[in-house]
Amino acid sequence: MKPVEIKPGVYWVGAIDWNLRYFHGYLTPRGTSYNAYLIMDDKITLVDNVKHHLCDEMLSRIKQVVDPAQIDYMIVNHVELDHSGSLPKMMELMPKAKVVTSPQGKKGLIRYFKKEWDFMVVNSGEDLNIGSRTLKFVHVPMVHWPDSMVTYIPDDKLLLPNDAFGQHIGSAERFDDQIGWDIIHEEACTYYANIVLPYGDNVLKALDVVGQLDIDMVAPSHGVIWRTYLDKIIPVYRRWAGNETDPKALIVYDTMWDSTRRIALALQDGLEEAGVPVTVRFLQTSHISEIMTDLLTARGILIGSPTINNGMLPSVSSFLTYIKGLRPKKRIGLAFGSYGWGGQGAKEVAAAIKTMGWETPVDFINMQYLPDEQELGTAKEAGIKLGEAIKAG
């Protein structure tokens, strides 16, 4: 459990959560890491810490560089417990450390831990000289919580942005080029879609600030450190934050007696005939957090449910609740479904799509019992029409 020197005098001293598979509603098949950084200077500084159960792992790394009692500053960029959970134990081992955080950070830490530590509240743009380096703090509220801030070290061209630019990857590798773009891009995409997506406007503001900084390394609080693919990930983040999509479609459905599935496939046929690539996800086999990865850049979102008990299937309702919270914008939607009588399932999906403000150039589709060839032809025609709208953007 060695520390890793990422810049001269700056050490990664975080912890790897190899076994994490579920992170507030989001599946994490690769586990994750909680990244903390130790800066050795006249004033020794620790930036962020780790989930409480991995405190000893972080400590073992810190102790290979310095006695924790020598640490002068504990910077808390973000209150969420994956980055502050070890604070009570660490503060006992760092008796002279001041806790440097945003005003909201101080409030949050006091609410969580009920401790009156020696706080140093910093405003956005404020500097802190620690010897040969001057740290700069920039508040980035709602990336991820109201307290969130980033720490920038101009002397090292190093940005420590906490949750931003993270990926849930637990690995022995610490740097992006040691894993490769394809895996990191996919994990960054899943992370963005499930965690950061609602805060796109704030991300764009933060990217404007980041764009003015001289940076050659971005070391987030989860996953690997960006040093080689920075020029690739920053424009991608800007696209995601702006809800920019590709002319492709995502069909998400559940089915009871196969009718809704048949409609889904007819819609797929139509979309493909219009020249639109389609991803099809069945809610009984795909987790909603995995589907978000597909949804992030899909312009057309088609959601299908049969009717049960005067409403939609609970699996579809769960998915809609999740995406309403994540607030994807600038999409083209279509509800579809089947019923025996009543037909409220697809109607409820259509109402949910409307509340999300998506365009709906094609009326929702609702078919009784098992759709026949003619009805499936109608669904295919709807798919073609929707495909044309998706291509037109």
Question: What is the closest distance, in whole angstroms, from the C-beta atom of residue 144 to ligand FEO in the complex?
Answer: 4
Question: What is the closest distance, in whole angstroms, from the C-beta atom of residue 32 to ligand FEO in the complex?
Answer: 9
Q: How do 119-121 and 98-101 pair as beta strands?
A: parallel
User: Active site includes 82?
Assistant: yes
* CA dist list (Å): 263 to 221, 272, 351, 365: 43, 14, 19, 9
Q: Which is nearer to ligand FEO, 82 or 176 (CB)?
A: 82
375 touching ligand FEO, by CB under 6 A: no
Do 178 and 226 meet the contact criterion of CB atoms below 8 Å apart?
A: no
User: Active site includes 52?
Assistant: no
> Which residue in the set 30, 61, 78, 174 belongs to the binding site for ligand FEO (CB under 6 A)?
78
Question: What is the closest distance, in whole angstroms, from the C-beta atom of residue 161 to ligand FEO in the complex?
Answer: 11
Token look-up 């609740």 returns: 321
Residue 7's φ and ψ, nearest 5 degrees, are -145, 160
User: Active site includes 83?
Assistant: no
How many residues are recorded in the chain? 393
382/379 Cα distance (integer angstroms):
5
Q: Which is nearer to ligand FEO, 17 or 348 (CB)?
A: 17
Q: Which is nearer to ligand FEO, 80 or 156 (CB)?
A: 80
Q: Check 48, 57, 80, 348 and give the catalytic one.
A: 80
248/256 Cα distance (integer angstroms):
27
82 touching ligand FEO, by CB under 6 A: yes
Size of the site for ligand FEO (CB under 6 A): 9
User: Active site includes 186?
Assistant: no
| Greatest C-alpha distance within the chain | 78
Residue 132: partners with Cβ closer than 8 Å, 6 or more residues away: 41, 42, 155
Q: Which is nearer to ligand FEO, 203 or 316 (CB)?
A: 203
Do 303 and 316 meet the contact criterion of CB atoms below 8 Å apart?
A: yes
Over the window 200 to 239, marking each residue x when it contacts ligand FEO by CB under 6 A and - when it does not, the resulting string is ---------------------xx-----------------
Q: CB count, 10 Å around CB of 117?
A: 19
203/208 Cα distance (integer angstroms):
9
Mutual orientation of helices 344-355 and 314-326 as an angle, nearest 10°?
Answer: 0
Do 365 and 346 meet the contact criterion of CB atoms below 8 Å apart?
A: yes
Q: Which is nearer to ligand FEO, 82 or 254 (CB)?
A: 82
Region from 76-84, 255-263, 280-288, 335-343 binding ligand FEO, contact rule CB under 6 A:
76-84
**Within 156-195, which residues bind ligand FEO (CB under 6 A)?**
163
Question: What is the closest distance, in whole angstroms, from the C-beta atom of residue 36 to ligand FEO in the complex?
Answer: 12
Q: Check 83, 139, 168, 222 and give the catalytic one.
A: 222
144 touching ligand FEO, by CB under 6 A: yes
Query: Would you please indicate which residues are annotated as catalytic (active-site) residues?
Result: 24, 78, 80, 82, 144, 163, 191, 222
